[in-house]
Chain A
Amino acid sequence: EVQLVESGGGLVQPGGSLRLSCAASGFTFSSYAMSWVRQAPGKGLEWVSAISGSGGSTYYADSVKGRFTISRDNSKNTLYLQMNSLRAEDTAVYYCAKSWRISAYMDVWGKGTTVTVSS
């Protein structure tokens, strides 16, 4: 069964850092692009970042560029999102999602991990 499981969310103060992880199973992880998508409370979906299967290409939404870093460890079948200089507006549920290429629809999603930025 194809599965994505996020972890690492929590409460952090403004200006703080957090690293999210997404453990993948049931498919050849290195063959697929991966994305992070977030959803603020009561709001819609916002694409955050994406990475190619090899990890050689990365892309970011303007709202997080320069603060967030996406990476992956294909030997561990794990995707990461390092989030620095966090702001209140980064408060959201963060989902990881799989796609067959970096600019494509996302066919498998994790259940999400909640990040709350508050003092």
Chain B
Amino acid sequence: EIVMTQSPATLSVSPGERATLSCRASQSVSSNLAWYQQKPGQAPRLLIYGASTRATGIPARFSGSGSGTEFTLTISSLQSEDFAVYYCQQYNNWPPGITFGQGTRLEIK
């Protein structure tokens, strides 16, 4: 099973600043990497797929990069609504199945 490791566990950033979240895979997942945003009491929302393609309706301040084992989600200028938990997910290794990172909590500094 591919293990996805996200860092940091918690990131404190001020509104208007840039946030950089990392995700590492235990083996190569090519570009088969997605990012999700989850707010308290809500379902996850797809942000990025294919490591760098924004999903429909996602603002341009969200960008993804990387391939192989190292990936980054960047939020260029944080808005109040961006403070949430972010998960990466690989979908390269099938079977046995999809695996998620443990999440990064983005909080207001």
B91 within 8 A of A: yes
Q: Is the interface of B mostly helix, strand, loop or mixed?
A: loop
Tell me if B91 and A107 are in contact (CB < 8 A).
no
Tell me if B95 and A59 are in contact (CB < 8 A).
yes
Chain A residue numbers with a CB within 8 Å of B36 are: 45
B19 to chain A, nearest CB (A): 19
Tell me if A105 and B46 are in contact (CB < 8 A).
yes
B71 within 8 A of A: no
B48 to chain A: closest residue by CB: A105
Chain B residue numbers with a CB within 8 Å of A89 are: none
Interface residues of B in 29-59 (CB under 8 A from A): 34, 36, 38, 42-46, 49, 55-56
B residues lining the A interface (CB < 8 Å): 34, 36, 38, 42-46, 49, 55-56, 87, 89, 91-92, 94-103
Given contacts A61-B96, A103-B94, A112-B43, 19 further A-B contacts (CB under 8 A): A37-B44, A44-B87, A44-B101, A44-B103, A45-B38, A45-B44, A45-B87, A45-B89, A45-B103, A47-B98, A59-B97, A62-B96, A102-B94, A105-B46, A105-B49, A105-B91, A107-B49, A107-B56, A111-B43
Q: Please list 26 pairs of residues, one from A and one from B, whose beta carbons are closer than 8 Å in the complex, sorted by A's number.
A: A35-B98, A44-B100, A44-B102, A45-B36, A45-B44, A45-B100, A45-B103, A47-B100, A50-B98, A59-B95, A59-B97, A60-B97, A61-B96, A61-B97, A62-B96, A95-B43, A103-B92, A103-B98, A104-B91, A105-B49, A105-B89, A105-B91, A106-B89, A107-B46, A107-B55, A110-B43
A residues lining the B interface (CB < 8 Å): 35, 37, 44-47, 50, 59-62, 95, 102-112
